[in-house]
Structure 1
Amino acid sequence: MTERTDELFRADSYLTTCEAHVLEVNERGGIILDRTVFYPTGGGQPGDRGVMTKEDGAEIRIGTTLYVGDDIVHVPEEGQTLPQPGETVSCAIDWDNRFRLMQMHTTMHLMLALIPRPINGCQVGADKSRIDFDLGDFDLDKERLEADLNALTAADHSVTITAVADEELDARPELVRTMSVAPPRGKGTVRLIQIGRADAPVDLQPCGGTHVARTGEIGRLRIGKIENKGAHNKRIAVHLEG
């Protein structure tokens, strides 16, 4: 199945509202639109929640957003009157929650810049995130890591969206750090998130998630619990303070 929904969040993470047409309401009540600002769960980042407003002014609370096959499905909370196919709705994400997820997702990329090792998993949260590294013999110093992480945010590096051809990504395997999830292929290009200058990036990774525009928007971070998750694997918790 080809994608039916224009993913507005890919080009602009700060877009909070849009109008859209309902394409389908599936058998479980999930709403599929022709365009959306709602990010679906993926890449360790939770799906957006928010509100859809119908033509008659009735509001539908969206509890989460998911990919189901190739479709982006907006999942309403229980007990609500659903729209009809062809109806126009106004969409608005929970911006406070989304922005904190953006702050934390960019933070996870900064962690990758500071720890040059493969990762086995990542979970982005609004207040606390965690990332699993295959550390091997890497020397991990918690206090130094926290200081270096906050130095990167304070440096206010730019965060920009670029792209790389599938063939170039194949020739540059060092760009792919995750050991569990391959970047999406098949469109000819892969979306990259670049932190810092193009000639000397702090980090450059394939990523479909939403991010802040500058690292200075993240604020103060704290390294939390570090757990052993195998012979070489360590899970590092990062907290967003304030």
Structure 2
Amino acid sequence: MTLPSSQPLFLSDVYMRECAATVVAHTAEGGIVLDQCLFYPTGGGQPGDSGTLVWDGKTLEIATAVKGEGGQVVLVPAAPVALPGVGIKLVQYLDWERRHRHMRVHTALHLLSVVLPLPVTGGQIGADKGRLDFLMPEPPEDRDAVEGALNELIDMDLPVSELWITEEELAAKPELVKTMMVKPPRGRGPIRLVQIGEGASRIDLQPCGGTHVARTGEIGALRLGKIENKGKQNRRVNIHLM
């Protein structure tokens, strides 16, 4: 299936760092809506992007982005200041280093779900570390083996890309959904899949609406962190960027 024409900028080109836009609305809470947005909104365990807006010699710091009504992305200013008016043309700049670290961690967590092929009960992405919660009654016997397997997949420098399928196709392949608590949205058209590797070398394929690096080698070396007990059946596995 081809990519939907309505694909937002933060997914159509995850490496875009700046872009012109026009303010189309303000929210009652003091947020800003643009006609096209680079900022990824908080969701799926991934934090919203931060950065700045620049217009007419003025600069506004954006603390995060969240999802608004009707699929809009709402930019949240870092401080309660005067906003650029509706119709103002501006340039949006991502905090690229932070975004890129989120991308590295996010792709690394997909690899973790390959190394530990167990149902996922939760997850969180940060700029320096991330974690997945697994339905895992007993912890892994060999921590070093898990860390080694992760770094081997990174060193393979596999391509990371996207595919799109219909809701009906996903329903026929429930094994693609690894998360137990969060399911892909329904009733919104095609569903995005992120694949790692291609053809016979593909190692992972799962629904995901977040941002990822283009190749696993871009993640860099990882360190396995704590494996925490989160109940009789759950373990939390932490990973850290080096």
TM-score between the two structures when normalised by the length of structure 1 = 0.94
| 1:46-85 equivalent positions in 2, closer than 5 A | 46-54=47-55, 56-69=56-69, 70-85=71-86
Q: Map Cα deviations across residues 35-83 of structure 1 (whole Å, 9 max, x no partner).
A: 01100001111000000012x1201100000113332110001143211
Q: CA deviation at 1:185?
A: 2.3
Q: Which structure has greater strand proportion?
A: 1
- 8 Å CA contact 2:139, 2:235 repeated in 1: no
User: Which residue type is aligned with residue 172 of structure 1?
Assistant: K
- 8 Å CA contact 2:163, 2:193 repeated in 1: yes
| 1:8-87 equivalent positions in 2, closer than 5 A | 8-54=9-55, 56-69=56-69, 70-87=71-88
Greater Cα offset, 139-148 or 82-91: 139-148
User: Which residue type is aligned with residue 106 of structure 1?
Assistant: T
User: Which residue type is aligned with residue 92 of structure 1?
Assistant: Y
- 8 Å CA contact 1:6, 1:36 repeated in 2: no
Counterpart for residue 211 of structure 2 = 210
SS at match of 1:168: helix
Counterpart for residue 92 of structure 1 = 93
CA distance in 2, matches of 1:138, 1:189: 37
The gaps in structure 1 that reach 5 residues or longer are none
The yes-or-no answer on 1:109 pairing with 2:110 is yes
SS at match of 1:111: helix
SS at match of 1:163: strand
Relative to structure 1, is the Cα distance of residues 208 and 140 closer, same or farther in structure 2, using a 3 angstrom cutoff? Answer: farther
Q: Map Cα deviations across residues 152-183 of structure 1 (whole Å, 9 max, x no partner).
A: 00110000011111111000000001011111
Write out the 4+ residue segments of structure 1 that deviate beyond 6 Å after TM superposition. Answer: none
SS at match of 1:35: coil
Q: CA deviation at 1:140?
A: 4.5
Relative to structure 1, is the Cα distance of residues 199 and 166 closer, same or farther in structure 2, using a 3 angstrom cutoff? Answer: farther
Q: Map Cα deviations across residues 133-157 of structure 1 (whole Å, 9 max, x no partner).
A: 0024675521100000000001100
User: Which residue type is aligned with residue 100 of structure 1?
Assistant: R
The gaps in structure 2 that reach 5 residues or longer are 1-5
- 8 Å CA contact 1:105, 1:124 repeated in 2: yes
CA distance in 1, matches of 2:25, 2:189: 28
User: Which residue type is aligned with residue 62 of structure 1?
Assistant: I
CA distance in 2, matches of 1:19, 1:79: 23
Greater Cα offset, 44-53 or 14-23: 14-23
CA distance in 2, matches of 1:233, 1:140: 15
Q: Give the aligned CA root-mean-square deviation in angstroms.
A: 1.4
CA distance in 1, matches of 2:132, 2:7: 30
User: Which residue type is aligned with residue 124 of structure 1?
Assistant: I
Counterpart for residue 221 of structure 2 = 220
